[in-house]
Amino acid sequence: MLEFILKFMLEVVVMGILGLIGRIGYRITGAVVPLLWGNRILVAPPPNNLMVMRRWHGVHRLTDGTPVIGQRLAAGLGLLLTTIVMLTSIIAVKLLRS
């Protein structure tokens, strides 16, 4: 019984942490994409309840052809951007110290 409770608690903690990391990545992408590409690329959900044609790979399109980055892909891109910035910062600090 104790093993079941420990597995359950570990799963809840791990899934909670992964969910939090995904939301952070989604928020980062939601802030960075409009800065880099203006309104030419949107992050899901699109404004004004526009019709979205869904694709399997995560980059959907509006009926007018505007690309929309899906939520899961946006979370992954946000985490990737964060990782690149952190690694670049660490490398820059190490190069400045030497």
DSSP H or E stretch at residue 97: helix 71-97
Question: What are the residue ranges spanned by the domains of the chain?
Answer: 2-97
CA distances from 47 to 41, 52, 57, 74, 82 (A): 12, 11, 21, 16, 25
88 vs 49, more confident: 88
| CA atoms of 17 and 40, how far apart (whole Å) | 32
In tens, the pLDDT along 56-66 reads 788 888 888 88
87 pLDDT tier (thresholds 50, 70, 90) = very high
Give this prediction's pTM.
Answer: 0.75
